[in-house]
Amino acid sequence: MMTRTAPALRHPLARTLLGGVAALVAAPVISLALIAIGGDAALWPHLAAYVIPPAALDTLLLLAGVAVVCMLAGIGTAWIVTTYEFPCRRLVLWLLPLPLAFPTYIVAYVYADLLGGLGPVQSGLRALFGWRSAADYWFPNIRSLGGAVLIMGAVLYPYVYLAARAMFETQSVALIESARGLGATPWRIARDIALPMARPAIAAGVALALLEAVNDVGASEYLGIQTLTLAIFTTWLNRSSLPGAAQIACLLLLAVCLLLALERGGRARKRFTGLDARPGARHRAVLPHRQAWLALAACVVPILFGFVVPLIHLAHEVIGRGLRIGFDPSLARHALTTVWLASCATVLVVLLGFAAALAQRRIADATARVCFFIAGLGYALPGTVLALGLLSPLIAIDEAINAVTHAFGATPPGLVLAGSSAAIICAYVIRFLSISTGFAQAGLARIATELDDAARIAGARATAVTRSIHLPLLQPALWAAALLVFVDCLKELPATLLLRPLNLETLSTYIYQFAARGNFEEGAMAALLIVLVGLAPVIVIIRQLEGAAPRPAIGSCELSPAVAR
């Protein structure tokens, strides 16, 4: 034990960092709360009678459905690719995270096109069975709650997949091997060892997927789902009550906090530590022929619906239109802008998030836990609401800067933060910080604090402990978080739309200007560019997760000798 000093004086650097990060995320929340308090409750009888009940019901059903789909697809595929060797496994590893690169609303348009009354699927059925019109037969309506669950699940499962895989990949091989030696079936190993140990990470992944689903506006509106987030928008824009909208947003935020706290409480007493010291070096069971194909099929289904089908549809649109209207040369510039903004934000998010998680681990008191919790709240706000909340603090800082420069006799620079890309990067950092804090915390949770103590007793400095113990063990989580943040930044729309400086266009705002007019196909090229740009980090990160061990050529789909035998 170190010498006892007053709590505030211990770890001053870690405390400043945690406090600063929490303040950054709290700023838009506080400004939102101020807007909410500034209004009255006159609208609430109406909201409570007609708006909230159906919206809450739709939201709950949507979230429950998306959670089930994401967990089935995400955990299932993560378990299969970490435990088994099967044909095309390398290719599958590449493809599994990719649905993430599609904005949800674009995928919603794609499926409405494909499965709609005049789409290829129903036309094919009509031709096959000789039906004349949609009135002659029953076909499930994709613009429905069920449709929304499947579409969002297909696009959002990678959050769970990446979180679960980063954990499975670093789980103690010894533990699993002993269980197998004792005769446990793979199912029991998954249920009793791997899943409980990965639970914090899976919870973080599911939370991200669900917050993404609940904060979606484009797809929900298009598919006719009445979510609470849509209620925020209609209250703001049609019921002309920004305070009322802020009040709903604050309540939604409270509900999210409560759920997150409950989940954390639920596993507070269960601590699982135990790591594979050599991530990526674990042995994968080679599956016999038939089972190998089953494993492949299980991984291909989510890839097919979340990635391949939308990709082919968009590519088809690009080719069809490209020949007619040509390629917009400004897209290259927008792609560069997008990558630049996303890169800045990703570096900041990963640095701040992991530093905050390490700081919280060192301080480990109630204040630190609250600060850390606050740091993860940015994702719980719809992007537009976050952007609205961020405007006031940013402009307040700008005005202070202007006042100071004016006092020194210089020309005030105007809106330095709010009028530049800094506003967008700031919004990205606040919004996506919970990805890195969540992944870092889940990763750290499995490193026994006794390990830190032992190293410290042996005379290692705190920084050395972090460098030689935490960071190597956290690497898979770190890379997975970086990938998620980067791709999320690439496709972020609502905050970018509202906060961007004059004349700035990103790929997602470029797509949106067509989608807003109901003509998303014109933006298909930009949607493909997002996927293409997202592919680069996927490749880098898969390499990192797989370790440096020699592997068959990437994308190789040949049966390995062991399987072909």
Partner 1 sequence: MTRTLLPGLLAMAVLGTPAAANEVNIYTYRESKLVQPLFEAFTRETGIKVNSISASSGLEQRIKTEGANSPADVLLTADISRLEDAVQSGITQPINSAAVDATVPAQYRDPEGHWAAVALRARVVYAAKERVKQSAITYEELADPKWKGKICIRSGQHMYNNALFAAMIARHGEARTEEWLRGLKANLAQKPSGGDRETARDIAAGKCDIGIGNTYYWALMNDVEADRKPWAEATKVILPTFEKGGTHVNLSGVALMRNSPNKANAARFIEWMVSATAQQMHADLTYEYPTRAGVPLHKTIAAYGTINGDTTPLSQIAANRKKAAALVDKVGFDN
| Contact between 48 and partner 1 per CB under 8 A | no
| Contact between 128 and partner 1 per CB under 8 A | no
Q: What is d(CA 512, CA 518) in angstroms, rounded to the nearest whole number?
A: 9
Least distance between partner 1 and beta carbon 143 (Å): 4
241: left (phi over 0), alpha (psi -120 to 50) or beta: beta
Question: How many beta carbons lie within 10 A of that of residue 258, not counting itself?
Answer: 10
Give the ranges where 364-382 is alpha helix by DSSP (H).
366-375
Which of helix, strand or coil describes residue 501? coil
Q: What is d(CA 535, CA 456) in angstroms, rounded to the nearest whole number?
A: 41
Select from 334, 357, 500, 531 the one that contacts partner 1 (CB under 8 A): 500
Q: Tell me which DSSP letter residue 552 carries.
A: S
Structure tokens at 472: 């190597």
| Contact between 143 and partner 1 per CB under 8 A | yes
Q: Which residues of 19-28 are buried (b: 16+ CB within 10 A; e: fewer)?
A: bebbebbbbb
What is the per-residue binding string for partner 1 in 193-232, x denoting contact by CB under 8 A? ----------------------------xxxx-x---x--
| Contact between 239 and partner 1 per CB under 8 A | yes
Give how many residues touch partner 1 by CB under 8 A. Answer: 75
Contact 87, 293 (CB under 8 A): yes
In this chain, which stretch among 67-75, 83-91, 360-368, 515-523 interacts with partner 1, using CB under 8 A? Answer: 515-523
| Contact between 118 and partner 1 per CB under 8 A | yes
In this chain, which stretch among 1-9, 200-208, 279-287, 496-504 interacts with partner 1, using CB under 8 A? Answer: 496-504
* Beta carbon nearer to partner 1, 184 or 242: 242
* Beta carbon nearer to partner 1, 167 or 511: 511
Residues 6+ apart with CB under 8 A from 161: 73, 74, 75, 77, 78, 96, 97, 205
| Contact between 33 and partner 1 per CB under 8 A | no
**Residue 85 burial by Cβ neighbours in a 10 Å radius (0-12, 13-18, 19+):** middle
Least distance between partner 1 and beta carbon 340 (Å): 9
| Contact between 514 and partner 1 per CB under 8 A | yes
Q: Which residues of 315-346 are buried (b: 16+ CB within 10 A; e: fewer)?
A: bebbeeeeeeeeeeeebeebbebbbebbebbb
Report the run of H or E that residue 85 belongs to, with start and end.
strand 84-85
In this chain, which stretch among 93-101, 109-117, 358-366, 478-486 interacts with partner 1, using CB under 8 A? Answer: 109-117
Least distance between partner 1 and beta carbon 166 (Å): 22
Least distance between partner 1 and beta carbon 510 (Å): 8
Closest CA to 365 of 10, 17, 2: 10
| Contact between 135 and partner 1 per CB under 8 A | yes
In this chain, which stretch among 69-77, 83-91, 112-120, 251-259 interacts with partner 1, using CB under 8 A? Answer: 112-120
Q: What DSSP assignment string belongs to 327-361?
A: --THHHHHHHHHHHHHHHHHHHHHHHHHHHHHHHH
**Where in 425-464 is the site for partner 1 (CB under 8 A)?**
425
| Contact between 519 and partner 1 per CB under 8 A | yes
| Contact between 169 and partner 1 per CB under 8 A | no
| Contact between 512 and partner 1 per CB under 8 A | yes
| Contact between 21 and partner 1 per CB under 8 A | no
Select from 84, 157, 233, 486 the one that contacts partner 1 (CB under 8 A): 233
Least distance between partner 1 and beta carbon 321 (Å): 9
**Where in 402-421 is the site for partner 1 (CB under 8 A)?**
402, 412-421
**Where in 306-335 is the site for partner 1 (CB under 8 A)?**
320, 324
